[in-house]
Amino acid sequence: MKHRHADAANSPWPMLIALVASVPAFYDSMMPTPATWATWMYLVSGVVVLASAWRVQRSLAARAHEPNRAHSGSWGERPMQLKLDWFLGAALLANALLPQSNESEPALVWRLVIAVLMLYRLLKISQPLFTETGLARLLAMGAAVLVLCGIGFYWLDPEVKTLHDGLWLAFSTAATVGYGDMVPSSTASRVFSVFVVLLGYGVLSLVTASVAAMFVGSQERKVEREILGDMHREMRELRQEIDRLRQEVHASRQVLEGAMASTPPTSPAPEAGQAPPTPRPG
């Protein structure tokens, strides 16, 4: 019970939510008129990430003193990931103190580096959601990613007038189609398109790979059924052949036993050194 409570306390969901919540603050700092809520979002996200890293470190320290404790290999038990969590928490707090990205180029570069590290951490946390999952779940996740990216373009790009245009720009960007009818026009939307390609293209690739695997799997199952059918037929023929051989052996044994029963018994031959028996007089 104690270990279950510890595992629940070390859940990756608080950090996942905190990192996702800081994404709008990152792009709001590049808008012409940044909102004040972005600073508070950075502060809250940084505190949550630091608190999660602290809980994981305490859990690791407690488990290190337990004898014969098998490591469960959970999300935060890798030292490099724990160090990255501490760094990300401090970096989010620093983002709240730095100038806005549209006013300072070094601040923009710093936030871009932190955004890349955040994307890496988000992918590591959400990796179990993308592996060994069904096609329906992948389609739902792909649709959700495209909708969120479309909303992002609608919010960040002044040339995107409707949500439909934002969704179309998100799809063409994630699919790397590049029709040219709509392109990102602001700095925020251009930076956003980089992450849309990295995340959206990966999700779409998983969907297409799952569809291809479904067709390949159906063909493989057909071949397996044919192979199993041939094996069953050969085993049935082999069983019939064995039954015929068993019947022939049984018939041959009966003939041999009948022949031995109809043959009269013969007197045994005299042993060496003994005289043959003399016939009795009539």
Q: How far apart are alpha carbons 63 and 183 in whole angstroms?
A: 52
pLDDT confidence tier of residue 271, bands split at 50, 70 and 90: low
pLDDT band at residue 60 using 50, 70 and 90 as cut-offs: confident
pLDDT tens-digit map of 201-210: 788 887 888 7
Looking at the 3D structure of the chain, how many domains does it have? 2
* Number of residues that make up the chain: 282
**Sign of the CA dihedral 182, 186, 190, 191?**
negative
Q: Does residue 263 form part of some domain?
A: no
| 124-133, 184-193, 211-220, 253-262: the lowest-pLDDT one | 124-133
Residues 172 and 224 in one domain: yes
* 51: number of Cβ within 10 Å: 14
> Are 184 and 238 in a shared domain?
yes
Q: Is 13 inside any structural domain?
A: yes
Same domain, 102 and 156: no
Instruction: Kindly state the average pLDDT of the residues 155-181.
Output: 88
Angle of the 135-156 helix axis to the 163-174 helix axis, nearest 10: 120
pLDDT band at 200 (very low <50, low <70, confident <90, very high): confident
What the block records as the tokens of 111 is: 């936030």
Give the structural domain span for 109.
1-62+76-124
The confidence score (pLDDT) of residue 2 equals: 47
Residues 110 and 183 in one domain: no
For residues 83 and 171, state if they share a domain.
no
CATH label of the domain that carries residue 241: 1.10.287.70
- 112 shares its domain with 218: no
Res 268: pLDDT: 59
131-to-75, 82, 186, 192 alpha-carbon distances in Å: 15, 23, 35, 25
Residue 275 lies in a domain: no
Q: Could you give the dihedral angle defined by the CA atoms of residues 106, 109, 114 and 118, in that order, rounded to the nearest 10 degrees?
A: 150
Euclidean distance between CA atoms 48 and 138, whole angstroms: 29
Specify if 270 maps to a domain: no
- Token pair for 155: 């919010």
Q: Are residues 183 and 120 in the same domain?
A: no
Q: Which residue would you say has higher pLDDT here, 208 or 47? A: 47
Classify residue 252 by burial, with Cβ atoms within 10 Å: 0-12, 13-18, 19+: exposed
- In terms of domains, do 160 and 213 share one? yes
DSSP state of 134: -
Same domain, yes or no: 80 and 44:
yes
Q: Both tokens of residue 253?
A: 């044994």
Pair 153, 223 in one domain = yes
Could you give the percent of the chain with pLDDT greater than 90? 12
Q: How far apart are CA 175 and CA 207, in angstroms?
A: 12
Whether residue 70 lies inside any domain: the answer is no
Domain match, 245 and 168 both: yes
- List the Cα angle 158/161/163 in 5-degree steps: 115
Would residue 213 count as lying in a domain? yes
Task: Point out the domain boundary residue: 124, 142, 164.
Answer: 124
Assess if residue 262 is contained within a domain: no
Same domain, 109 and 167: no
Asked if residue 266 is part of any domain, the answer here is no
Average pLDDT of the chain, as a whole number: 79
Nearest to 195 by CA among 12, 24, 14, 16: 24
